[in-house]
């Protein structure tokens, strides 16, 4: 068996597999150094002065021993050949009996005008975090594009660490795609109280170098001076390898409820997949999927179920849990708010709970409300 990818998805499949089958040969191929780490830590690592090395929980050599696996690190798979049951690393051909694609997702890159358009950073793995920390060495001012979950988390991490942070988003308020305005405004206030500057209903259109850093020109022609530009506008599933192999690909690598791709003996899990139209780049969905795949790999063909899976937003300035309603679901928000304690419940016209966002003390209602939500995949 072969797994491509050593992120949370690839390693969770391997761990679950080893609970069921300790001996079958297992190969893990990873473009990175194969160290096991928790990616969600990346957006609140700076304030704790975490180095990339200290974020690695288990290095690849130990993972290989623990998993009784061969781990090929710094090894980029360049081609998958489903007919031949082989993957290629350049000219080198490696056969598989069953293959799991756990390729993750890549930051979406926007194009900008200006001579420094290519200086935008994003943080989606440990190497990115290394570059980001290096860029922060002599920096004071950081501009973050995107006030979604990850942009707000970085702002909440970096401002208290002594930087001057600006958040820029084309929507009206933070978390504008998943939460009602009351929630966004409460989070906005909490970030402003920390000292974060926020620019809404504007986007960056131009990035130019200056003597001391960069000048950002926004869509309303306002201008901002900054030392570092971080993009947190979202991720796109890694589909190129699968598409080139002829696998069915839409927004993500298309899998069925067994996590099977359109090719025989090839499964996919994690941020790279699309299942029944859903692309859910979070930890809980990949854990559920990895457990199902591990069973299927050992011959017990198993479907994945997705219960409602609320996500905790790591903004200590304002505790927050989101379980947004599925895109396109009709309904309205009902909101109770007292200061930072906000309970926003999304009800369908039949008065069924379709989603929720909880803030402050109301976060305690998470489990009870999650039980009332319909599963995302029953």
Ligand X SMILES: Cc1cc2nc3c(=O)[nH]c(=O)nc-3n(C[C@H](O)[C@H](O)[C@H](O)COP(=O)(O)OP(=O)(O)OC[C@H]3O[C@@H](n4cnc5c(N)ncnc54)[C@H](O)[C@@H]3O)c2cc1C
Residues that bind ligand X (CB under 6 A): 4-10, 29-32, 39-40, 42-43, 76-77, 102-104, 123-124, 150, 238, 241, 270-271, 281-284, 286, 311, 314
CB of 115 to ligand X, least distance (A): 28
Nearer to ligand X, 213 or 308 (CB): 308
Nearer to ligand X, 20 or 309 (CB): 309
Place of tokens 């950002």: 216
Nearer to ligand X, 122 or 166 (CB): 122
Q: How far apart are CA 183 and CA 188, in angstroms?
A: 8
CB of 350 to ligand X, least distance (A): 29
CB of 64 to ligand X, least distance (A): 14
Nearer to ligand X, 18 or 39 (CB): 39
CB of 311 to ligand X, least distance (A): 5
Nearer to ligand X, 33 or 201 (CB): 33
Q: Which of 191, 189, 124, 185 is nearest to 156 (CA)?
A: 191
CB of 107 to ligand X, least distance (A): 8
Q: How far apart are CA 314 and CA 321, in angstroms?
A: 9
Q: How far apart are CA 120 and CA 67, in angstroms?
A: 37
Cβ-based burial of 113 (10 A; exposed 0-12, middle 13-18, buried ≥19): exposed
Q: Which of 1, 228, 206, 243 is nearest to 114 (CA)?
A: 206
Q: How far apart are CA 12 and CA 319, in angstroms?
A: 28
Nearer to ligand X, 157 or 227 (CB): 157
- Residues paired with 100 in a beta bridge: 3, 267
Q: How far apart are CA 166 and CA 146, in angstroms?
A: 10
CB of 312 to ligand X, least distance (A): 6
Q: 268-305 burial string, b = 16+ CB within 10 Å, else e? A: bbbbbbbbeeebbbebebbbbbbbbbbbbbbeeebebe
CB of 46 to ligand X, least distance (A): 11
Nearer to ligand X, 101 or 206 (CB): 101
């Amino acid at each position: 068996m072969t797994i491509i990818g050593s992120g949370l998805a690839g390693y969770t499949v391997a761990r679950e597999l080893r609970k069921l089958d300790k001996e079958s040969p297992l190969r893990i191929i990873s473009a990175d150094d194969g160290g096991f780490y928790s990616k969600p830590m990346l957006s609140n690592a700076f304030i704790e002065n975490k180095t990339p090395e200290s974020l690695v929980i288990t290095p690849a050599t130990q993972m290989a021993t623990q998993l009784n696996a061969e781990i090929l690190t710094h090894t980029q798979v360049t081609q998958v050949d489903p007919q031949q049951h082989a993957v290629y690393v350049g000219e080198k051909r490696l056969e598989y009996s069953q293959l799991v694609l756990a390729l993750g997702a890549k930051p979406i890159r926007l194009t900008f005008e200006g001579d420094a358009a290519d200086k935008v950073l994003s943080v989606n793995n440990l190497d990115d975090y290394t570059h980001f920390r290096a860029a922060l060495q002599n920096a004071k001012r950081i501009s973050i594009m995107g006030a979604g979950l990850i942009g707000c988390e970085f702002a909440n991490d970096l401002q208290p660490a002594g930087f001057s942070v600006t958040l820029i988003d084309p929507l009206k308020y933070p978390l504008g795609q998943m939460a009602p305005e009351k929630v966004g405004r409460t989070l906005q206030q909490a970030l402003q109280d920390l000292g974060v500057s926020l620019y809404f209903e504007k986007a960056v259109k131009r990035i130019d170098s200056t003597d001391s850093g960069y000048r950002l020109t926004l869509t309303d022609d306002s201008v901002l001076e900054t030392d570092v530009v971080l993009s947190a506008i979202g991720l796109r599933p890694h589909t190129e390898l699968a598409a080139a192999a002829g696998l069915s690909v839409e927004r993500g690598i298309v899998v069925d409820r067994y996590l099977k791709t359109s090719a025989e003996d090839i499964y996919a899990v994690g941020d790279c997949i699309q299942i029944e139209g859903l692309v859910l780049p979070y930890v809980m969905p990949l854990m559920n999927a990895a457990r199902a795949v591990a069973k299927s790999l050992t011959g017990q063909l198993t479907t994945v179920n997705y219960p409602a899976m609320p996500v905790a937003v790591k903004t200590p300035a304002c505790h927050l849990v989101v379980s947004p309603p599925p895109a396109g679901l009709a309904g309205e928000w009902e909101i109770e708010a007292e200061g930072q304690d906000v309970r926003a419940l999304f009800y369908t016209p039949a008065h069924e709970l379709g989603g929720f966002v909880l803030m402050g003390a109301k976060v305690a209602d998470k489990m009870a409300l999650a039980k009332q939500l319909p599963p995302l995949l029953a």
